[in-house]
C-alpha cells in the first residue's frame, strides 16, 4: 500500500489509532513511521547512576535517588492543593511534590515502600524537593528496552501528555516501532562513504540514537545521522548548481567597454578597496564562462557593495544587456536610486526606478522604454518581479539584502528573459560560514572583508539606566557639532503594548530634554501610516531634524552619512545581528561615530555576552559567529528558510567539521560522477530522482 513501510501513517501503530495519531500530527508534526523514528531524543539520562540525598546541590540536574516514602499528606486548597511526600535515604530527607494527578499518587505511592525517584531537584523553603518525580518501585526492573543505561528524553507537549504521550509514552511507542520495522530499514548512504568516514549503518544508527547502550554508540549514531542530514542537503544544493550549469547557458559579458571604463576614470569618486576589486574580478570571470552566474556577495555595512553592484551593471550594459537591482523596501530602492544617479549621468547610462508606488502613467512609459531598451538600469522593489515588466534583454539582476529573498523569488526572475540573467545577491548581514554553506550552498560566495580606508571604527559604549543624563549630554554635544542622532526602541510583538508605553515615555522625556524649536525630532514606528513614515524619514535624511526616534522598523540600509550617534534603548533585548545592523546606520561619513547601548541593571548571562561583544568588536563576521553560538541558525536569518534549516540533529554552530566533510564528499562525488551514473552512487541518484518528483526550483524557468 505504501511505497515503503516507513511511509505508513502513525495511526497504524498498535495502540495509537486515529485520535492519538491526530494529536501527534498536530502537536509534533509526526505523520508517518519515518517521522516518529526521526523524532530523536533531545537528551539522555544516565540511569546507571544513583545519587544520595546529601549529594544534591543547587546545580543538580535530572537525577535518580533510591529511598523510602515515610509520609504523605495533602496540603493547601484549590490551585495550591498538592501532595507532599517525605522521602528518605541513609543520608537524609527530601520532599516529593505533586500538584496534579493527585488521585493517581494517592492510590499508587505507598508510605513505607522503597522507590526510585527521578527528577530535577529544586531548593525551596530550606529543603530540596522534586516536583512530579517519575516513581518506580525499587524492586522493579527499569522500563523500556532491556537494560537501559542511557534513557532517551523526548520532546512532548501538555496536550500529548493528556493522551499518555509524555516522554515515557513516546519512548514506549518508538521502542515498539523499532522492533517492528528495523529489519526493513534500508541504507541510504553508499557503502564506500560509510567506510571512508567510519559511519555506522542506518539501522545501527537508528537503534542507537534512541536506545544507546553506551556513550560511544550514541556518539557514532549521532555523527552518522548528522552527516546524513547535512550530506543530502549539500547533495541537493550542489546537484542543483551543476544542473543549472548544464542546462542554462549564461549570457556572456566578455567585453569591458566604454561605460565601465568611463565610469572608473571619470565618475568614481574614490579608489576601490582591494576587496572591492577582487569581488569585481570574480564577477568578471563568472560572467564570461558561458554559464549563469549565481553569486552571493557578503559585505559588512559600509563595505561599499553599491559600487560593486553598479560596476557589474555597467559591465552588463557594456555588453548590450540591461540590468536591474532589487531592494526589499521602497525606501531602500529610492536610496539606491539616489546614490546611483548621483554617481552617474544620463549620457553614461539611463537609470530608472519602479516601485509599488509608481504611478500608472509613469509605469506605462517605463514599460515601453524597458522593452525598447532605452533604459539600461532599472532599480526597484519586489514590484519588479510581480510587475508585467518586460525587458528587451535583461542580463543581470542584483538583489540587495538576500535574507528577505527566497529561492522561489530568485527563480521567478528567470521568466524575465529567455536565457536566465546572471544573479548577484548582496547581503549586509554577515552570515557564519556554516550557515552560508547551508542556506546558499548552491551559490558562489564573495566576501568584501575590508572597509574603505580612512573609515574610523565606531566607538561603542554600554551605559546603564543611571547614566542616562550623561547620554543626553553626549547627544547634545554631538548635535551642537551639527551631527544627527538615532534613538531606537525595541518593539517586539509579544510585549508590544508595554514597548509602546516605553516608547511614549521615552519620547516625552526627550521632548523635554530636546525642546523645539532648538531641536527637531522625527518619530517613526510601525503603527504609523506609510506616508507619515516616509515623510518623517525624509525630514531626517534631509537634515531637517536632528533626532530620529524609531522602533526597529528603521530601515536596514538607510544611509544618512551625517548621522553619527546611534542610541539603542533596552539594548539587552535585541539580538546580536540586529544590534550590529542598527549600529551600521552610523559610521557612514567622515566623522567619528558612536553607538550607545542603554540597558537596565539586570542582565541575563546571554544579554551580557551580547553587549560585551558589541563593545569589543565591529567585525560583523565575528559577531555573526557568536550570534550563531548563542541563538542557533533559525533566529539569525530571522525567517524560516524554506525548510533548509529544518535540521533535526545537526547544529550549524557546533557541527562545522561534519558539515565540511559532507560538503567535500558531495563535491568530490559530483566532480567524479556528475550525473550520478556509477553503480556505487545508485542510492544518491535515487534520492535526487525522488526530489525531482517533488518541487524543485529547477523546474521553474
Ligand atoms: P554597503 O556595503 O553598506 O551597501 P555602500 O555601498 O552604501 O555600503 O557604501 C558606503 C559608503 O562608502 C558610501 O558613502 C560609499 O560612497 C562609500 N564608499 C564605497 N566604497 C568606497 C571606497 N572604496 N572608498 C571610499 N568610500 C567608499
Ligand atoms: Mg547597501
**Domain termination residue (choose one: 394, 426, 448):** 448
Are residue 284 and residue 379 in the same domain, yes or no? yes
Residue 152 lies in a domain: no
Residue 646 lies in a domain: no
Nearest residue by C-alpha to atom 15 in ligand 1? 304
**pLDDT of 402 higher than 90:** no
Are residue 336 and residue 370 in the same domain, yes or no? yes
Residue 641 lies in a domain: no
pLDDT of residue 241: 84
Rounded to the nearest angstrom, the distance between the alpha carbon of 168 and the centre of ligand 2 is 52
- Angle CA(549)–CA(553)–CA(554) in degrees, nearest 5? 55
pLDDT confidence tier of residue 424, bands split at 50, 70 and 90:
very high
Are residue 467 and residue 357 in the same domain, yes or no? no
Say if ligand 1 is within 6 A of residue 559 CB.
yes
Are residue 365 and residue 228 in the same domain, yes or no? no
> Whole-model pTM?
0.71
Arithmetic mean of pLDDT over the chain: 87
- Angle CA(287)–CA(291)–CA(296) in degrees, nearest 5? 60
Are residue 309 and residue 340 in the same domain, yes or no? yes
Q: Tens of pLDDT along 322-343? A: 999 998 888 888 889 998 999 9
pLDDT confidence tier of residue 554, bands split at 50, 70 and 90:
low
pLDDT confidence tier of residue 695, bands split at 50, 70 and 90:
very low
Are residue 135 and residue 100 in the same domain, yes or no? yes
Mean pLDDT over 159-187 rounds to: 89
* Ligand whose nearest atom lies closest to the CA of 557: 2
Q: Minimal CA–CA distance to 351: which of 383, 320, 390, 310? A: 310
**pLDDT of 89 higher than 80:** yes
CB 586 within 8 A of CB 555: no
Nearest residue by C-alpha to atom 14 in ligand 1? 588
Identify the residue with better confidence: 543 or 641.
543
**Domain termination residue (choose one: 448, 475, 501):** 448
Mean pLDDT over 54-81 rounds to: 90
Rounded to the nearest angstrom, the distance between the alpha carbon of 422 and the centre of ligand 2 is 19
pLDDT of residue 696: 41
**3-state class (DSSP) for residue 458:** coil
Nearest residue by C-alpha to atom 19 in ligand 1? 304
| Distance between start and end Cα atoms, the chain | 35
Say if ligand 1 is within 6 A of residue 301 CB.
yes
Task: Give CA–CA dist 130/64, Å, rounded.
Answer: 10
**Domain termination residue (choose one: 448, 467, 498):** 448
**pLDDT of 14 higher than 90:** no
Are residue 612 and residue 475 in the same domain, yes or no? yes
Say if ligand 1 is within 6 A of residue 239 CB.
no
Atom of ligand 1 nearest to the CA of 272: 23
- In terms of average pLDDT, the best of 297-301, 312-316, 506-510, 582-586 is 312-316
3-state secondary structure 379-426: EECCHHHHCCCCCCCEEEEEEECHHHCCHHHHHHHHHHCCCCCEEEEE
Q: Minimal CA–CA distance to 487: which of 601, 600, 594? A: 594
Nearest residue by C-alpha to atom 18 in ligand 1? 304
pLDDT of residue 620: 87
CB 398 within 8 A of CB 340: no
CB 616 within 8 A of CB 489: no
Rounded to the nearest angstrom, the distance between the alpha carbon of 249 and the centre of ligand 2 is 29
Buried b (16+ CB within 10 A) or exposed e, 558-593: bbbebbbbbbbbbbbbbbbbbbbbbbbbbbbbebeb
* Residue at grid coordinates 522500563: 143
**3-state class (DSSP) for residue 427:** strand
Rounded to the nearest angstrom, the distance between the alpha carbon of 305 and the centre of ligand 1 is 7
Residue 153 lies in a domain: no
pLDDT confidence tier of residue 307, bands split at 50, 70 and 90:
very high
Longest dimension (CA), the chain: 96
Number of domains in the chain: 5
* Ligand whose nearest atom lies closest to the CA of 307: 1
pLDDT confidence tier of residue 642, bands split at 50, 70 and 90:
very low
Are residue 384 and residue 270 in the same domain, yes or no? yes
What are φ and ψ of residue 334, in 5° steps? -65, -40
Are residue 520 and residue 425 in the same domain, yes or no? no
Nearest residue by C-alpha to atom 26 in ligand 1? 452
Q: What is the CATH number of the domain that holds 278?
A: 3.40.50.300
Say if ligand 1 is within 6 A of residue 304 CB.
yes
Rounded to the nearest angstrom, the distance between the alpha carbon of 612 and the centre of ligand 2 is 26
pLDDT of residue 205: 96
Q: Is the dihedral of CA 156, 161, 163, 168 positive or negative?
A: positive
pLDDT confidence tier of residue 382, bands split at 50, 70 and 90:
confident
Are residue 20 and residue 119 in the same domain, yes or no? no
Atom of ligand 1 nearest to the CA of 561: 14
Task: Give CA–CA dist 160/452, Å, rounded.
Answer: 56
Say if ligand 1 is within 6 A of residue 428 CB.
yes
What are φ and ψ of residue 394, in 5° steps? -75, 125
Ligand 1 test: best mutation among 279, 300, 306, most atoms within 8 Å of CB? Answer: 306
Say if ligand 1 is within 6 A of residue 124 CB.
no
- Angle CA(678)–CA(684)–CA(688) in degrees, nearest 5? 115
Rounded to the nearest angstrom, the distance between the alpha carbon of 461 and the centre of ligand 2 is 25
Atom of ligand 1 nearest to the CA of 454: 25
CB 380 within 8 A of CB 351: no
Report the run of H or E that residue 67 belongs to, with start and end. strand 63-75
Residue 253 lies in a domain: no
Say if ligand 1 is within 6 A of residue 335 CB.
no
Rounded to the nearest angstrom, the distance between the alpha carbon of 401 and the centre of ligand 2 is 8
Say if ligand 1 is within 6 A of residue 225 CB.
no
Residue 297 lies in a domain: yes
Are residue 120 and residue 163 in the same domain, yes or no? no
Atom of ligand 1 nearest to the CA of 301: 3
Rounded to the nearest angstrom, the distance between the alpha carbon of 475 and the centre of ligand 2 is 26
3-state secondary structure 86-144: EEEECCEEEEEEECCCHHHHHHHCCCCCEEEEEECEEEECCEEEEECCEEEECCCCCCC
Mean pLDDT over 264-291 rounds to: 94
pLDDT of residue 413: 61
pLDDT of residue 381: 87
List 460's β-bridge partners, or say none.
595
Say if ligand 1 is within 6 A of residue 398 CB.
no
Q: Exposed, middle or buried, 347 (CB in 10 Å: 0-12/13-18/19+)?
A: exposed
Rounded to the nearest angstrom, the distance between the alpha carbon of 553 and the centre of ligand 1 is 23
Q: Minimal CA–CA distance to 33: which of 12, 48, 55? A: 12
* Ligand whose nearest atom lies closest to the CA of 310: 1
pLDDT of residue 699: 34
Identify the residue with better confidence: 12 or 646.
12
Identify the residue with better confidence: 246 or 659.
659
Mean pLDDT over 46-69 rounds to: 89
Mean pLDDT over 127-146 rounds to: 74
Residue 640 lies in a domain: no
Q: Tens of pLDDT along 349-366? A: 999 999 888 888 988 999
pLDDT of residue 1: 44
Identify the residue with better confidence: 608 or 418.
608
Nearest residue by C-alpha to atom 17 in ligand 1? 304
Report the run of H or E that residue 484 belongs to, with start and end. strand 484-489
**pLDDT of 639 higher than 60:** no
pLDDT of residue 164: 86
Say if ligand 1 is within 6 A of residue 272 CB.
yes
pLDDT confidence tier of residue 701, bands split at 50, 70 and 90:
very low
Say if ligand 1 is within 6 A of residue 307 CB.
yes
Say what percent of the chain tops pLDDT 70: 91
Task: Give CA–CA dist 478/566, Å, rounded.
Answer: 11
434-437 contacts: CB < 8 A, separation 24 or more? 434/628, 434/652, 434/653, 434/655, 434/656, 434/659, 435/624, 435/628, 435/633, 435/636, 435/637, 435/652, 436/296, 436/298, 437/234, 437/659, 437/663
Task: Give CA–CA dist 418/403, Å, rounded.
Answer: 26
Residue 107 lies in a domain: yes
CB 13 within 8 A of CB 33: yes
Are residue 393 and residue 533 in the same domain, yes or no? no
**pLDDT of 638 higher than 50:** no
Domain span holding position 164: 1-43+158-184
pLDDT of residue 144: 45
**pLDDT of 468 higher than 60:** yes
How far apart, in Å, are the Cα atoms of 494 and each of 147, 500, 579?
Answer: 45, 12, 19
- How many other C-beta atoms lie within 10 A of the C-beta of residue 327? 27
List 357's β-bridge partners, or say none.
none
**Residues in the 5 Å CB sphere of ion ligand 2:** 557
Report the run of H or E that residue 83 belongs to, with start and end. strand 82-89
Amino acid at each position: 500500500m505504501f511505497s515503503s513501510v516507513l511511509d505508513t501513517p502513525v495511526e497504524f501503530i498498535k495502540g495509537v489509532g486515529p485520535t492519538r495519531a491526530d494529536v501527534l500530527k498536530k502537536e509534533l508534526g509526526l505523520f508517518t513511521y519515518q517521522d516518529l523514528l526521526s523524532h530523536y531524543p533531545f537528551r539522555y539520562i544516565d540511569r546507571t547512576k544513583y545519587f544520595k540525598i546529601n549529594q544534591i546541590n543547587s546545580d543538580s540536574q535530572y537525577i535518580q535517588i533510591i529511598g523510602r516514602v515515610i509520609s504523605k499528606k495533602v496540603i493547601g486548597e484549590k490551585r495550591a492543593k498538592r501532595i507532599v511526600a517525605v522521602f528518605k535515604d541513609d543520608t537524609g530527607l527530601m520532599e516529593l511534590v505533586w500538584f496534579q494527578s493527585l488521585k493517581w499518587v494517592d492510590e499508587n505511592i505507598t508510605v513505607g515502600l522503597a522507590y526510585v525517584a527521578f527528577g530535577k531537584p529544586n531548593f525551596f523553603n530550606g529543603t530540596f524537593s522534586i516536583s512530579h518525580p517519575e516513581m518506580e518501585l525499587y524492586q522493579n526492573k527499569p522500563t523500556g528496552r532491556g537494560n537501559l543505561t542511557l534513557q532517551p528524553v523526548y520532546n512532548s507537549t501538555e496536550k500529548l501528555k493528556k493522551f499518555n504521550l509524555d516522554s515515557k509514552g513516546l519512548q514506549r511507542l518508538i521502542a515498539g516501532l523499532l522492533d517492528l520495522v528495523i529489519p526493513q530499514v534500508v541504507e541510504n548512504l553508499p557503502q564506500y562513504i560509510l567506510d571512508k568516514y567510519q559511519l555506522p549503518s542506518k539501522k545501527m544508527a537508528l537503534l542507537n540514537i534512541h536506545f544507546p547502550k553506551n556513550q560511544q554508540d550514541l556518539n557514532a549514531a549521532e555523527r552518522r545521522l548528522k552527516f546524513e542530514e547535512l550530506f543530502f542537503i549539500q547533495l541537493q544544493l550542489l546537484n542543483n548548481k551543476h544542473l543549472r550549469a548544464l542546462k542554462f547557458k549564461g549570457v556572456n559579458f566578455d567585453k569591458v567597454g566604454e561605460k565601465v571604463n568611463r565610469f572608473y576614470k571619470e565618475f568614481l569618486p574614490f579608489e576601490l578597496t582591494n576587496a572591492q576589486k577582487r569581488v569585481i574580478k570574480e564577477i568578471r570571470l563568472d560572467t564570461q564562462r558561458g554559464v549563469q552566474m549565481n553569486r552571493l556577495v557578503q559585505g559588512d555595512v559600509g563595505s561599499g557593495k553599491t559600487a560593486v553592484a553598479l560596476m557589474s551593471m555597467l559591465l552588463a550594459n557594456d555588453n548590450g544587456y540591461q540590468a536591474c537591482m532589487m531592494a526589499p523596501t521602497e525606501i531602500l530602492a529610492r536610496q539606491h536610486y539616489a546614490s546611483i544617479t548621483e554617481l552617474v549621468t544620463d549620457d553614461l547610462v539611463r537609470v530608472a526606478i519602479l516601485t509599488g508606488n509608481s504611478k500608472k502613467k509613469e509605469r506605462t512609459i517605463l514599460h515601453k522604454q524597458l522593452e525598447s531598451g532605452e533604459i539600461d538600469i532599472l532599480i526597484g522593489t519586489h514590484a519588479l518581479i510581480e510587475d508585467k515588466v518586460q525587458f528587451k534583454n535583461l542580463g543581470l539582476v542584483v538583489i540587495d539584502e538576500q535574507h528577505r529573498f527566497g529561492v522561489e523569488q530568485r527563480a521567478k526572475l528567470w521568466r524575465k528573459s529567455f536565457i536566465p540573467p546572471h544573479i548577484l545577491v548582496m547581503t549586509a548581514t554577515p552570515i557564519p560560514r556554516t550557515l552560508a554553506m547551508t542556506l546558499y550552498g548552491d551559490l558562489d560566495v564573495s566576501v568584501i572583508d575590508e572597509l574603505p580606508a580612512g573609515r574610523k571604527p565606531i566607538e561603542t559604549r554600554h551605559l546603564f539606566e543611571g547614566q542616562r543624563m550623561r547620554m543626553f549630554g553626549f547627544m547634545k554635544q554631538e548635535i551642537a557639532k551639527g551631527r544627527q542622532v538615532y534613538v531606537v526602541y525595541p518593539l517586539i510583538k509579544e510585549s508590544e503594548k508595554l514597548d509602546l508605553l516605553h516608547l511614549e515615555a521615552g519620547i516625552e522625556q526627550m521632548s523635554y530634554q530636546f525642546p523645539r524649536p532648538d531641536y527637531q525630532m522625527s518619530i517613526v514606528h510601525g503603527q504609523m501610516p506609510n506616508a507619515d513614515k516616509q515623510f518623517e524619514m525624509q525630514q531626517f535624511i534631509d537634515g531637517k531634524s536632528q533626532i530620529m526616534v524609531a522602533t526597529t522598523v528603521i530601515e536596514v540600509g538607510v544611509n544618512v552619512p551625517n548621522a553619527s550617534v546611534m542610541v539603542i534603548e533596552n539594548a539587552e533585548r535585541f539580538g546580536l545581528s540586529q544590534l550590529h545592523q542598527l549600529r551600521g546606520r552610523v559610521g557612514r561619513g567622515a566623522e567619528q561615530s558612536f553607538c550607545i547601548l542603554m540597558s537596565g541593571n539586570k542582565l541575563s548571562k546571554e544579554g551580557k555576552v551580547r553587549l560585551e561583544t558589541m563593545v569589543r568588536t565591529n567585525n560583523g563576521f565575528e559577531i555573526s559567529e557568536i550570534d550563531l553560538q548563542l541563538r542557533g541558525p533559525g533566529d539569525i536569518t530571522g525567517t524560516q528558510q524554506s525548510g533548509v534549516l529544518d535540521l533535526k540533529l545537526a547544529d550549524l554552530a557546533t557541527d562545522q567539521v561534519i558539515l565540511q566533510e559532507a560538503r567535500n564528499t558531495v563535491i568530490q562525488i559530483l566532480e567524479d560522477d556528475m550525473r550520478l551514473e556509477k553503480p556505487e552512487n545508485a542510492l544518491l541518484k535515487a534520492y535526487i530522482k525522488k526530489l525531482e518528483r517533488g518541487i524543485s526550483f529547477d523546474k521553474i524557468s
